[in-house]
Structure 1
Amino acid sequence: MAKYMLLLYGDPARWEAMTAEEQAAHMAAHEAFSKAAGERILGGEELELPQTATTLRGAAGGEPLTTDGPFLETKESLGGFYVIEAADLDEAIALASLLPEARASHSGVEIRPAVFHG
């Protein structure tokens, strides 16, 4: 089994504007994903909004420069992640397609295989 990280991106303004019914449907979709993936989910979390991010970047002199906020100014930001095990990319795609972020026009799911060092 390979490990994959599912990075959940979306427009924070759209997430914050969801009605209670939309939020409930969104959470229900994550629960359905969790049920379908079962023990293949190795971890995952929802993340705080982008304005709470701190970014470290290399600077002259070798010491990292610390800045508030995300590195890039984008409309979509990283909102959460799952780490899963899957037999192959096709299975990872099938599982990720159950996530609401894979179906909404204002969000998306990036699937990245983990590198095995051993």
Structure 2
Amino acid sequence: MQYLLLIYRSEAELSKMTPADRQAMSAEYGTYTQSIVQSGHFKAGDGLQPTTTATTVRVRDGKTLTTDGPFAETREQLGGYYLVEAKDLDTAIGLAARIPGAKEGSIEVRPVMIYK
């Protein structure tokens, strides 16, 4: 089964990181990504640009409305994701717990719908 692992953390805290801290975090993510590629769990994954680059789209009464920025103000923002293949939820949770961002933010684990 496929699961989407959504990585949330504070953009404000991320912006306070030193270049050395960012490089260390990047290396940690590289190591993690390589491990799930090698184990066969990896399907896809990417980091996201900051929420300041986001555009929210709504359609109301047939009209497309756009707003700069994210849908809601929160303490943690969606910063990236992994799409993984896992035999069950426990395996997906184990993969999520190893994501470097889990130490300071949170990881949402969501099963992907299967359409037949």
Unmatched runs of 5 consecutive residues or more in structure 2: none
For 2:64, give the aligned amino acid.
Answer: P
SS at match of 1:84: strand
| Identity of matched residues, % | 39
User: 1:27, 1:91 → 2: CA distance?
Assistant: 24
User: 2:34, 2:65 → 1: CA distance?
Assistant: 42
User: 1:33, 1:69 → 2: CA distance?
Assistant: 29
Shift of 1:40: 1.7
- Which stretches of structure 1, 4 residues or longer, exceed 3 Å deviation after superposition? none
Shift of 1:91: 0.7
User: 2:17, 2:6 → 1: CA distance?
Assistant: 20
Shift of 1:63: 1.7
The answer to whether the aligner puts 1:36 opposite 2:51 as a matched pair is no
For residues 8-47 of structure 1, the C-alpha deviation after alignment (integer angstroms, 9 at most, x for no partner) is 1111111111123322331222123213212321111111
User: 1:21, 1:90 → 2: CA distance?
Assistant: 34
Unmatched runs of 5 consecutive residues or more in structure 1: none
Say if 1:40 and 1:86, in contact at 8 Å, map to a contact too: yes
Shift of 1:76: 1.1
List aligned pairs for 1:17-96, cutoff 5 A.
17-38=16-37, 39-59=40-60, 61-96=61-96
User: 2:18, 2:64 → 1: CA distance?
Assistant: 41
**Residue 112 of structure 1 corresponds to which residue in structure 2?**
110
Tell me the TM-score normalised to structure 2 length: 0.90
For 2:31, give the aligned amino acid.
Answer: A
